Amino acid sequence: MGKKPRRARRSFTPEFKAEIVELCRRGDRSVGQVAKDFDLVETRVRDWVRQAEIDTGERAGLTSSEREELATLRRENRRLREDVEVLKPATAFFAKETR
C-alpha cells in the first residue's frame, strides 16, 4: 500500500474564504459538501466558519484582528528577548572594563 501524496500548501484570499463561509451558512449544502465541491479540506472550511462566527460576535474567542496583533506582539517579544541575550555579555564586559 502506497502513501497518499501530500497536497501542496495553498493560500486563499479573504474574499474566497468569505464566499465559502457564506455558502456554508446558507444551509443549502453541508460543510463537507461545500469542501468537496471546491476541493478543500473539510476541517479547514470548519475553521473558517468558526472564525467568521467569532469575528461577528456569535461565538467567544479571539477575533482575526486580535489574532494578528497577538502574533505580531509575540514576534516582537521574541526579537526583544534575543536582543537582551546578546546585550547581557556586552554589558558584563563593559562593566568589568570600567572598574
pLDDT tens figures, 74-88: 999 999 999 999 999
- 83 within a domain of the structure (yes/no): yes
CB atoms within 10 A of CB 24: 21
Q: How many distinct structural domains can be found in the chain?
A: 2
Query: What's the confidence (pLDDT) of residue 94?
Result: 85
- 49 within a domain of the structure (yes/no): yes
User: Mind listing the pLDDT tens digit for each residue in 53-74?
Assistant: 999 999 999 999 999 999 999 9
- 48 within a domain of the structure (yes/no): yes
One domain for residues 53 and 86: no
Helices 42-55/64-97 angle, 10° precision: 90
Domain with 88, as residue range(s), is 64-99
One domain for residues 46 and 22: yes
- 1 within a domain of the structure (yes/no): no
Model confidence pTM above 0.85: no
One domain for residues 55 and 76: no
One domain for residues 86 and 54: no
